[in-house]
Amino acid sequence: MTLPKFVIADNSDFPDDIFIIHLDFPQFIINLKDDEVEFLDDIEEEDEKELESEMEHLITLAGEFYDREMERYEE
């Protein structure tokens, strides 16, 4: 099965939150309400520095993905 890079999730227990799940490495969930990130993968210390710069880009991509999906939904 081929998985998309990002998926959108919501939960009725958190009605004001919108979650974007990144399914490639590093797997993480970002809450677009407050940009809080929760990693699903175990991140090694040596990988942390490299991921810091990549995460900024991935968070931007997650926001762009959400905006694009919402535009398509409204059509």
Mean pLDDT score, 41-58: 81
For residue 51, how far is the Cα from the chain centroid? 14
Residue 61 has pLDDT above 90, yes or no: yes
Q: Give CA–CA dist 3/51, Å, rounded.
A: 22
Do residues 37 and 28 make contact, with C-beta atoms less than 8 angstroms apart? yes
pTM: predicted TM-score of the whole model, two decimal places: 0.86
User: Could you state, in order of their start, the residue ranges of all structural domains in the chain?
Assistant: 6-74
For residue 30, how far is the Cα from the chain centroid? 4
Residue 46 has pLDDT above 90, yes or no: no
pLDDT in tens, 16-31: 999 999 999 899 999 9
Buried b or exposed e, range 4-22, using 16+ CB within 10 angstroms: eebeeeeeeeeeeeebbbb
